[in-house]
Amino acid sequence: MAVQMQNPGDGPENTTDTGGATEPYAFDVILHPHRSLSPTGFFILMLFIVGVSFSAGLAFLSQGAWPIFGFFGLDVLLIYAAFKFNYRDGRIFETIQLGAKELLVRRVFPSGRIRVWTFEPAWMGVLMDNPPEHHSQLVLTLREKRLTVGAFLSPEERLQVAEALKAALADWREPVPAQG
């Protein structure tokens, strides 16, 4: 699953500091790109590709076309490199956290670089096509500022996050009734 929703107050990392006291986040989600091939599946796929390439290369080698054998080896290396780059890019993730005073969006790149945006939740807008299409984007807006999040998610997952965030923002904006 590419979207991990957490319930308010699930643990110490799921709290916001409000000047000495900690309160649970009203909304806390971690967005990860989906990877359908597990490391074990990748190993099995690479064994299959090596086996087929080696067998085909031997057939060409026995016919005297020895350069073809090298090209099959090059194909295996290129496929391996393509998968490794894909897995590296898959390590990106984003977090969206709605605290008592701000909405915090954090994007962590595969290189380890972190980019952080903070928004005033009272004036936030959440834009997303419903029903979602392939090109639909999940956009957070604040006046003229726009931030696209979850670009690596499927359209249905982006819609799920958008609806949950809209509901959390609506709850956040609701005044707490005075007790007494």
Residue count (the chain): 180
Show the DSSP H helices in the chain as ranges.
Answer: 39-62, 66-89, 155-173
Q: Are 25 and 12 in contact (CB under 8 A)?
A: no
pLDDT tier at 15, thresholds 50, 70, 90: very low
Q: What is the pLDDT of residues 142-171, one digit of tens each?
A: 888 899 999 898 889 999 999 999 999 988
Structure tokens at 161: 């996050």
Query: 0.75 exceeded by the pTM?
Result: no
CA angle 95–96–100, rounded 5-degree value: 135
d(CA 179, CA 166): 27
Same domain for 98 and 120: yes
Asked whether the predicted pLDDT for residue 3 surpasses 70, the reply is no
Determine, yes or no, domain membership for 97: yes
Q: Which domain holds residue 49?
A: 39-89
Q: Does residue 84 sit within a domain?
A: yes
The b/e string for 15-32 (b: 16+ C-beta within 10 A; e otherwise) is bbeeeeeeebbbbbbbbb
Q: Is 161 exposed, middle or buried (0-12, 13-18, 19+ CB in 10 A)?
A: buried
Total domains, the chain: 2
User: What pairing do the DSSP bridges indicate for beta strands 114-119 and 125-127?
Assistant: unpaired
According to the model, what pLDDT value does residue 20 have? 46
Regarding whether 141 and 55 lie in a shared domain, the answer is no
pLDDT one-digit tens code per residue, 92-142: 899 999 988 899 999 999 998 999 999 888 888 999 888 888 888 999 998
In a shared domain, residues 19 and 44: no
